Structure 1
């Protein structure tokens, strides 16, 4: 979706969500180990992504065929001993040809035994500037998934975590090491990652498509792929040791917007039972929703964009559009200088996949009543330790944003020097992010009347160094940047070449234990973990994760909380 822009210099790309992919050229490297505490035994597990010392028992387990509804598969030892991974299993048919911009079709069956030992193709997207060694094959036959399990036994009934990647049109595939599920599997969770359609292939809305679907809208193809993956999981995950009645749908950034949509949509009800939204959610009247990944366009606006896309591609009909090659679409849509009109693809209020607005879902009580874990990061929402801003720019921002409230804002966040202006902007941005998430939580609990608990976090730890192993990671990410918590949620520090420290290992162990407990019970708390209280509408708090594990206020003072709450509540647009 749209990206935010700020009228001042920033030391890195600081839009609110979904930073563009970095372009790394450093050769792939691996170093570092993870001390992961087993979920039931407390044993320490150490391994590397490239060469896990698989035991004979694990090798035998990986070679034992697992029966899916489509056919038999075998896996391979994963990054940590005791875990098997099944790679590239198709959950739906190819989306090429006449299946392009249609709801996913069932995957074809096969005879014999398939070796699920190779990552599947990613969906077509621009990869210019990304090290070729990090790019999987690109194909419209891309609807495939990966399963990590400690025990492929139908009697095991372990909790399941389904992860949806984030991103901004590029570096969007499920096989990046940052999404490796072995550490969570070692803690007793069956982990699934999957590829879904992205960019023009995942988001095109067009009047002819809306007429073709039979329900009056189009687009949201990536969300429909997610529903297809969840249906596959419902039918098949027990064979991999998973419990189809304990599925957590989790995502980061654009992926979290899919979770948000499916908490409103009826299409996936009963297919998942908890929601984990990492970077995250906003109060449904937050102006940020006009330009972040969690926002959406109206059907009319998206159809106009689709018509402009067809004209830009030189296509006079839907048949002409489907006749174009995937390479033609990618190269033209994402070419330098491509017009914004006709090349903007994101979520859409189509009346079917997303049947109503976020606000209406809360007010009508139709928001899915499931346990939720959600949060945001200290150095996103425009905040960054490298931010540069003048006093004049800060005051201009205050006047433009807050109008007749600007004087009150500047009293709470005073700045008389440029360094103060940058620091106070950071303080404000961090406060507002926490307040917005907290207000969403009060909507979830009070407005919607849900009884399920909600756990909100504030991520504060900055990963050390840089990461050349994952194309999705920013080369110049500063502080606790957008997406910094992914490593720690998965606990998979072994998969990257950052110079991890003992502190990082400890943070990753605690954070991934919270995730494993939430997947298992709907509550992140567990033995030996710092207590994480569920959110209460009467206590504006968040749980700090990272540099500390303790509660902190939703804003730095009661006065700041009151100001930002009043500002957000006063906004006229209800998304």
Structure 2
């Protein structure tokens, strides 16, 4: 099975430039699949579209069998009890519905209200994940798949007399291995540091992104597509209405995400739909300058509504359907099998974010005008080896020079003078240095747009992740199968440390890793509490000082191997060159 994109129609390659090999795992190529859907098909909800699967999965279970660790808490749908989490003194509540089933008539519609239940619901089991391919993933790691998948999980410190900041996490991925109950997203450690953590499932792939002319007509003012983003809004609305019962402060919500989830966070910083529902933003693999060419094929990219609807029309043709009613009549298994088949064409199977004029009301560049983007503190960065760089990259001098000519045109000689290579080994090393520099410069330039063009006043804390996780991890299907020594600080390698819960995952962690995770998760907890990752004055826990972004000082905070500010590029000359290059681009996303 070929998963052609992480989130956008144009992501058909792991390459950064023509003729240049990309890394095994990166923002352009995450989780390539194997063939076959047999392992996943049996996990789908067996109910046909239109049946009352919501009632089945939402029925309360006996709290006496759950080992519930505290008194029932009241949500708008009913009472829930939780169970002890991975850290002493923390309770987790699993699989709480925040919206109704998306099966039958609710498929490709905005989320509908969650059903209620009587009695006490034992929130002791992860809820179903949304339909997606799961081939190549061990069966014991895959939850049931169902269109009744809009559920969330909450971690909270059980003994707390005050409302605590809330951290709402949006997972990333590439239309596969995307669900909220993976061990890598365990919120226990952050909860023990004073944060109420929420993770939730949202629709993905064709279920989360389909735009189709008949759907746009049915939807009216909000066209079609971006169903997964609308799910995220519904989750935030649920949090706003209910999180105080779990000790969370609805006026201190951090919206956070990685990769595809980071693109959702970025969209909701622009969209009017989420105003007032979150107050800080954390974007891991992250944001880019709005004229960065890589936005054409990374998770943050998008399609026009016309292009997305053309893809939707091709999707209907692929399915053998001539109407929306016929598309809704297919089972989820049938859709997944067609869209993600190894021989599926790119036409009709390329799903991603949509510039629909409603959920995403304007381009990223247009959003960089005063008052268009939400003015909240931002914590954002990228990993060292995710954007083309790789410790095992091989490249010939000829390929390197061809890349320079293709990418920089008449400035190729200036580029090669800054990043010179006379051997193949030097070519690979210099290409990686360029990738590292360009990524940091792009993020920094986004920060200058946020502050200067948009005239926002909230602080930005930009980072460059350098820690390499040891070994491999078989407990999280979102993580790559190779040993990290081959991948470096790969795309998503910072996730373990953001959540801080290393002990629940399958890697040979060292004392250094635990120290890094403690520091990183403390930065996250502080940011969720105050909008500043640094320890408050007089706090018992000291942390390396992380300066906020200053538009006249091109810096980034290295997190991982060291905890120190570093240049946005390795030299002032390289920064000036890459800034000129990015600002000279004619396509403004």
Fold match, TM over 0.5? yes
Cα separation, 2, equivalents of 1:344 and 1:60: 44
* Corresponding residue number in structure 1 for 2:515: 506
SS in 2 for 1:363: coil
Asked if 1:80 corresponds to 2:87, the answer is yes
* Corresponding residue number in structure 2 for 1:558: 572
Cα separation, 1, equivalents of 2:259 and 2:332: 25
Cα separation, 2, equivalents of 1:506 and 1:324: 50
SS in 2 for 1:88: strand
* Corresponding residue number in structure 2 for 1:483: 492
* Corresponding residue number in structure 1 for 2:47: none
Asked if 1:95 corresponds to 2:109, the answer is no
Is the Cα–Cα contact under 8 Å of residues 370 and 455 in structure 2 kept in the other structure?
Answer: no
* Corresponding residue number in structure 1 for 2:114: 107
* Corresponding residue number in structure 2 for 1:252: 258
Match of 2:428 among 422, 433, 457: 422
Asked if 1:495 corresponds to 2:504, the answer is yes
Is the Cα–Cα contact under 8 Å of residues 8 and 388 in structure 1 kept in the other structure?
Answer: no
CA displacement, residues 19-40 of structure 1 (integer Å, 9 cap, x when unaligned): 12578xxxxxxxxxxxxxxxxx
Asked if 1:20 corresponds to 2:39, the answer is no
1:129 Cα offset (Å): 1.1
After superposition, the Cα gap between the structure-2 partners of 1:330 and 1:288, relative to the gap in structure 1 and judged at 3 Å, is same
SS in 1 for 2:368: helix
Alignment map for 1:56-67 (pairs within 5 Å): 62-67=69-74
CA displacement, residues 450-476 of structure 1 (integer Å, 9 cap, x when unaligned): 010000000001000000000000012
Cα separation, 1, equivalents of 2:168 and 2:153: 10
Is the Cα–Cα contact under 8 Å of residues 33 and 135 in structure 2 kept in the other structure?
Answer: no
* Corresponding residue number in structure 2 for 1:375: 381
After superposition, the Cα gap between the structure-2 partners of 1:159 and 1:22, relative to the gap in structure 1 and judged at 3 Å, is farther
* Corresponding residue number in structure 2 for 1:145: 152
Cα separation, 1, equivalents of 2:395 and 2:136: 30
Match of 1:531 among 545, 549, 558: 545
SS in 1 for 2:428: helix
Cα separation, 2, equivalents of 1:61 and 1:531: 40
Is the Cα–Cα contact under 8 Å of residues 164 and 252 in structure 1 kept in the other structure?
Answer: yes
SS in 1 for 2:379: strand
Is the Cα–Cα contact under 8 Å of residues 543 and 549 in structure 1 kept in the other structure?
Answer: yes
Cα separation, 1, equivalents of 2:501 and 2:192: 11
Is the Cα–Cα contact under 8 Å of residues 14 and 382 in structure 1 kept in the other structure?
Answer: no
Is the Cα–Cα contact under 8 Å of residues 20 and 403 in structure 2 kept in the other structure?
Answer: no
Alignment map for 1:317-332 (pairs within 5 Å): 317-332=323-338
1:337 Cα offset (Å): 1.2
* Equivalent pairs, count: 540
Match of 1:339 among 345, 355, 360: 345
Cα separation, 1, equivalents of 2:102 and 2:27: 31
Is the Cα–Cα contact under 8 Å of residues 11 and 388 in structure 1 kept in the other structure?
Answer: no
1:63 Cα offset (Å): 3.5
After superposition, the Cα gap between the structure-2 partners of 1:284 and 1:245, relative to the gap in structure 1 and judged at 3 Å, is same
CA displacement, residues 306-354 of structure 1 (integer Å, 9 cap, x when unaligned): 0000001000000000000000000110000100010001000000000
CA displacement, residues 369-389 of structure 1 (integer Å, 9 cap, x when unaligned): 000000001001100001010
Asked if 1:516 corresponds to 2:511, the answer is no
Runs of 4+ in 1 over 6 A off after TM superposition: none
Cα separation, 2, equivalents of 1:340 and 1:219: 18
Deviates more, 1:514-523 or 1:11-20: 11-20
Cα separation, 1, equivalents of 2:33 and 2:390: 17
* Corresponding residue number in structure 1 for 2:38: none
After superposition, the Cα gap between the structure-2 partners of 1:485 and 1:568, relative to the gap in structure 1 and judged at 3 Å, is same
1:10 Cα offset (Å): 4.5
* Corresponding residue number in structure 2 for 1:123: 130
Cα separation, 2, equivalents of 1:71 and 1:419: 62
* Corresponding residue number in structure 2 for 1:171: 177
After superposition, the Cα gap between the structure-2 partners of 1:525 and 1:21, relative to the gap in structure 1 and judged at 3 Å, is farther
Cα separation, 2, equivalents of 1:450 and 1:483: 28
Cα separation, 2, equivalents of 1:283 and 1:11: 21
Cα separation, 2, equivalents of 1:152 and 1:486: 27
Cα separation, 1, equivalents of 2:70 and 2:338: 44
Cα separation, 1, equivalents of 2:447 and 2:90: 36
CA displacement, residues 389-423 of structure 1 (integer Å, 9 cap, x when unaligned): 00000000011111111111011011110000000
* TM-score computed with the length of structure 2 as normaliser: 0.90
SS in 1 for 2:69: helix
SS in 2 for 1:62: coil
CA displacement, residues 465-503 of structure 1 (integer Å, 9 cap, x when unaligned): 000000000012411000000000000101111000000
* Corresponding residue number in structure 1 for 2:76: 69
* TM-score computed with the length of structure 1 as normaliser: 0.92
Match of 1:312 among 293, 309, 318: 318
The runs of 5 or more residues in structure 1 that have no matched partner are: 24-58
Match of 1:458 among 459, 464, 472: 464
After superposition, the Cα gap between the structure-2 partners of 1:22 and 1:328, relative to the gap in structure 1 and judged at 3 Å, is closer
Cα separation, 2, equivalents of 1:22 and 1:306: 23
The runs of 5 or more residues in structure 2 that have no matched partner are: 1-7, 35-65
* Corresponding residue number in structure 2 for 1:28: none
Cα separation, 2, equivalents of 1:8 and 1:296: 24
After superposition, the Cα gap between the structure-2 partners of 1:284 and 1:9, relative to the gap in structure 1 and judged at 3 Å, is closer
